[in-house]
């Protein structure tokens, strides 16, 4: 009888080896959630700490809208929680894709969707600020003017030298 119980436990432990791996426990926003406010962050919590190698972070979370535009920033890791800042400004369906490495070295990949249906959605996505090149100002303009004047004087001096020789 002891052999039968022992063999049964052995076969069951071999049949279910994945129970030891990390898995997603919760997500904010949650899978299939419909939000009325714009989230500023997406956060995923796993059942065990995620791997971090020195300053390297092999874990990634990406949030895209229905057009495929990436709206997430760099991921931040804190034990079993990975989060990313997001810039969501409109009503849409968003997909969260993740690829993380658990502390035991196994890769966990997955994705889910959520929607934003806000009454205060912006009609046009906000673009990144455009850097304007400043107009030529005092010191820079003075240096360029002096250089142009020096080149002109040198050119005239060359012309005079050539005329004297001929």
- Look over the chain and give the mean of its residue pLDDT values, rounded to a whole number: 80
Q: In the 3-class helix/strand/coil scheme, how is the chain assigned residue by residue?
A: CHHHHHHHHHHHHHHCHHHHCCCEEEEECCCCCEECCCCCEEEEEECCCECCECCECCCEEEEECCCCCECECCCEEECCEEEEEECCCCCEEEEEEEEEEECCCCEEEEEEEEEECCCCCCCCCCCCCCCCCCCCCHHHHHHHHHHHHHHHHHHHHHHHHHHHHC
Ramachandran sector of residue 5 (left: φ over 0; alpha: ψ -120 to 50; beta: rest): alpha
Q: Taking a C-beta distance cutoff of 8 angstroms, is the pair 147, 155 a contact? A: no
pLDDT of residue 54: 73
pLDDT of residue 15: 46
19-116 belongs to which CATH class?
A: mainly beta
pLDDT of residue 16: 46
d(CA 110, CA 92): 20
Instruction: State both tokens at 152.
Output: 């002109």
pLDDT tens, residue order, the chain (166 aa)? 555 444 445 444 444 444 557 789 999 999 999 999 999 999 999 999 888 877 777 889 999 999 999 999 999 989 899 999 999 988 999 999 999 998 888 899 999 999 999 887 654 454 555 555 555 555 666 667 777 888 888 878 888 887 777 6
For the chain, the domains span 19-116
pLDDT of residue 68: 93
pLDDT of residue 84: 95
> Which pTM does this prediction carry?
0.60
Q: Taking a C-beta distance cutoff of 8 angstroms, is the pair 27, 97 a contact? A: no
Nearest in space to 25 (alpha carbons), one of 87, 102, 93: 102
């Amino acid at each position: 009888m002891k052999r039968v119980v022992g063999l049964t436990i052995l076969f069951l432990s071999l049949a279910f080896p994945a129970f030891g791996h990390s898995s997603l426990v919760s997500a904010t926003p949650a899978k299939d959630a419909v939000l009325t406010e714009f989230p500023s962050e997406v956060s995923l919590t796993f059942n065990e700490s995620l791997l971090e190698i020195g300053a390297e972070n092999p874990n990634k979370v990406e949030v895209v809208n229905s057009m495929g535009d990436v709206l997430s920033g760099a991921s931040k890791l804190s034990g079993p929680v990975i989060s990313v800042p997001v810039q969501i400004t409109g009503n849409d369906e968003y997909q969260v894709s993740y690829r993380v490495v658990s502390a035991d070295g196994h890769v966990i990949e997955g994705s889910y969707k959520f929607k934003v249906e806000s009454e205060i959605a912006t009609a046009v996505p906000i673009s990144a600020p455009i850097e304007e090149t400043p107009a030529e100002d005092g010191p820079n303009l003075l240096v360029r003017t002096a250089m142009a004047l020096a080149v002109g004087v040198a050119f005239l001096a060359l012309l005079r030298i050539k005329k004297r020789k001929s």
